[in-house]
Amino acid sequence: MMMNDIVLVGFGGHAKSVADCIEREGKYHIVGYTDMREADSRYSYLGTDDELHTIFGGGVKNAAIGIGYMGKGAVRQHLYATLKQIGFYLPVITDPSAIVSNTAVVGEGTFIGKCAVINAEASIGKMAIINTKALIEHECVVDDFSHVAVGAVLCGQVKVGEGAFIGANSTVIQCRQIESNAIVPAGATIR
């Protein structure tokens, strides 16, 4: 398989998880990362986001956003707009251990971490994070820019609005609706 180059945009802890999945997936070669400053990273620092035009011009057409923390949803939306304007393609990053049903759909730029499961007829928007071991059950709808944190469980037919944050190991029972930009705390159960 030919490997395509990809740049990580923003480098924090989440980026280490994303980079690990990119390497395990084996579809893209990480050329480095941009950020406001150099970070603790095994990858090359390529400068601030002002360099993204130059990076794209140099032949790197793929980007992945490495910022995942709660409360930074607006940053992710802004970065997405910037990257699209330049022309970048934001592939879905799926760890090989994740399971995505053949009848599920997943939007552009979404990250699906290790051992995450997206079950039958679920629909995931663009630029979402379905983090490590998260479970999206049958017929769930998760809107753009949402972040389903590690180990969170969405039962069947749950709807998650745009930009919502579903906390670590929390539970949303079947058919419930989480509003846009809502935050479900870690460990909580939404009945």
Catalytic residues: 138
C-alpha closest to that of 164 among 142, 131, 134, 190: 142
In contact, 146 and 130? CB cutoff 8 Å:
no
Q: Which of 91, 151, 161, 163 binds a second copy (CB under 8 A)?
A: 151
Nearer to a second copy, 107 or 156 (CB): 156
In contact, 161 and 155? CB cutoff 8 Å:
no
Beta bridge pairs of residue 184: 166
**Site mask, a second copy, residues 51-80, x = CB under 8 A?**
------------------x-----------
Backbone angles phi, psi at 115, to 5 degrees: 60, 15
C-alpha closest to that of 153 among 131, 124, 126, 120: 131
- Please report, as residue ranges, which positions from 76 to 105 form the binding site for a second copy (by CB under 8 A): 97, 99, 101-103
Q: Which of 48, 120, 177, 180 binds a second copy (CB under 8 A)?
A: 120
Whole-number minimum distance, CB 78 to a second copy, in Å?
Answer: 22
C-alpha closest to that of 156 among 114, 101, 109: 101
Nearer to a second copy, 48 or 174 (CB): 174
- Report the chain's terminal Cα–Cα distance, integer Å: 46
Residue with tokens 């997943």: 106
Q: Residue 13, interface with a second copy (CB under 8 A)?
A: yes
Q: Residue 110, interface with a second copy (CB under 8 A)?
A: no
Q: Residue 150, interface with a second copy (CB under 8 A)?
A: yes
C-alpha closest to that of 111 among 9, 32, 35, 4: 9
Nearer to a second copy, 26 or 87 (CB): 26
Whole-number minimum distance, CB 156 to a second copy, in Å?
Answer: 4
Q: Which residues bind a second copy (CB under 8 A)?
A: 13-14, 16-17, 19-20, 23, 42, 69, 97, 99, 101-103, 114-115, 117, 119-121, 132-133, 135, 137-139, 149-151, 153, 155-157, 167-171, 173-174, 185-189, 191
